[in-house]
Amino acid sequence: MKQFLEKLSYTKHVIVNPFDGYYEIKFRNKGDALIATLFFLINSVLAVVSTQYNGFVINTFNIKNMNSLLIMFYSLFPYLIFVVGNYSTTTLFDGKGTMREIYIVVGYALFPYIVSQVIGVIFSQFITMEEVPIYRLIVFAGSAWFAFLVFSGLIVVHEYGVLKNIATLLCTVLAVSIILFLCLLTYSLIQEVLAFVQLFITEAIVRIEGWSS
């Protein structure tokens, strides 16, 4: 437990000094996939909280149509598919980072975004329409910090230069698109198979009932 808390407190160093922080995580094992997972889960919960409890000036979502599990899935899935896509791409470009390290990079980078979300939810309870830009600036700052931390972390774990990192990120976007296409195709095929099985069973039941009568 003590070791876990020490690694959790190390997050502060990663946020302030990302290059040195991620170097320590990669080469001196100061990171923890469990902590990254914790940040992923907190971010998913905050997605539900912000959807439900953001102030009325900000929140236009109809809570009656709210599905908490679906919101959590949509808030988690893009990060995980990015991890898979980036690992798939960087293995072709001599990237030194493992999937675990990429996972930790993205998970730790979520911390400032999580903080901005918490501040945003609280701030949204008291603002007027004229103050909405301040709210958006808070959320944008967290998002920009997250993006910078991911970019910095990937440079460190893959041992890339800036230009090569940018190139592999563009390829990652392509890889993610392909993965999404394959997922949608698989989902569509499963739906068709299930529909066929259901139709077959229904037809069989009707015929059996017809024979028995």
pLDDT at 38 over 70: yes
Q: What is the pTM of this model?
A: 0.84
Specify the DSSP element, H or E, that contains 60.
Answer: none
Angstrom distance (rounded) from CA 195 to CA 154? 43
Tens digit of each residue's pLDDT (9 = 90 or more) over 160-189: 889 999 999 999 999 889 888 888 888 888
Side-chain half-sphere exposure of 165, counting CA atoms within 13 A: 16
Residue type, 108: Y
Angstrom distance (rounded) from CA 108 to CA 110? 5
pLDDT for res 150: 94
Q: How far is CA 66 from CA 45, 50, 163, 174, in A?
A: 14, 12, 42, 31
For the residues 67-90, what does the mean pLDDT come to? 89
For the residues 194-208, what does the mean pLDDT come to? 79
Contacts of 10-16 spanning 24+ positions with Cβ under 8 A: 11/35, 11/108, 11/111, 14/108, 14/111, 14/149, 15/108, 15/111, 15/112, 15/145, 15/149
For the residues 38-51, what does the mean pLDDT come to? 90
**Torsions phi, psi for 185 (to 5 deg):** -65, -45
Angle at 195 between CA 192 and CA 198, to 5 degrees: 150
Closest CA to 85 of 170, 176, 16, 152: 176
Are residues 71 and 143 in contact, defined by beta-carbon separation less than 8 angstroms?
A: no
Closest CA to 121 of 16, 42, 64: 42
Tens digit of each residue's pLDDT (9 = 90 or more) over 110-129: 999 999 999 988 888 887 78
Q: How far is CA 212 from CA 85, 202, 209, in A?
A: 56, 15, 5
Angstrom distance (rounded) from CA 64 to CA 67? 9
Tens digit of each residue's pLDDT (9 = 90 or more) over 151-164: 999 999 998 889 99
User: Count of CB atoms within 10 A of residue 169's CB?
Assistant: 18
